[in-house]
Amino acid sequence: MRIVFLGPPGSGKGTQATLLKERLGVPHISTGELLRAAVAAKTPLGLQAKAAMDAGELVSDELVLGLIEERMASDDTAKGYILDGYPRNLAQAEALDQVLGSLNRPVQKALALMVDEEQIVQRLAKRAEMEGRSDDTEEVVRNRLAVYREQTAPVADHYRAKGILVDIDGVGTIEEINQRLQNALD
């Protein structure tokens, strides 16, 4: 199964993608994680991406596209994938269609986790305490939410127009939400 996960930061995409990956036996590909690894390893790409990430802005489309092209061309995505954190704007959605089209591995379902902003600010404050991510401070979180609203939310329409978008209520326990996602995939 070839899946794209949509939803604001803190909507539980990462947690749910990890659970689904076990069940479906496909790789979970998170551009945020790939970028954080590049920053930690101080690769040229990491050094270029860091400032935007620390500010809660999007890293340039060009940089992230290079990363995703390379990752999606790996053998392990032939059996499917769960993409988390990409695409983040309409240009990325279109670029992704091209990449996946030429690999003959197009997206089959886009799952959009719906959570309101109030809940998200609370959840991310908790995550900041537990994980200490440098972009989970209140000011950066607000910026990430604004970026989501303005640039990423329209991506859902891209998949809705293809008839493959499923909206999922993202409020509830991890198990409840996982069940909703499984129902959407059955």
Q: Which residues are catalytic?
A: 13, 88, 127, 133, 144
Residues that bind ligand AMP (CB under 6 A): 9, 31-32, 35, 52-53, 56-59, 64, 85-86, 88, 92, 135, 144
CB closer to ligand AMP, 8 vs 181: 8
The one-letter code for the residue type at 59 is V
Query: Which residues pair with residue 168 across a beta bridge?
Result: 113
171: which residues sit within 8 A by CB, 6+ positions away? Answer: 114, 115, 116, 119
3-state secondary structure of 46: helix
- Asked whether the beta carbons of 120 and 145 are under 8 A apart, the reply is yes
CB closer to ligand AMP, 98 vs 179: 98
CB closer to ligand AMP, 3 vs 58: 58
Q: How far is the CB of 186 from ligand AMP (least distance, A)?
A: 27
The string of DSSP letters for 128-156 reads HHHH--TT-SHHHHHHHHHHIIIIITTHH
**Cis amide prior to 154 (ω within 30 degrees):** no
3-state secondary structure of 105: coil
Q: How far is the CB of 166 from ligand AMP (least distance, A)?
A: 20
Q: What backbone torsions phi and psi does residue 28 show, to the nearest 5 degrees?
A: -100, 115
CB closer to ligand AMP, 26 vs 45: 45
Sign of CA pseudo-dihedral 127, 129, 135, 138? positive
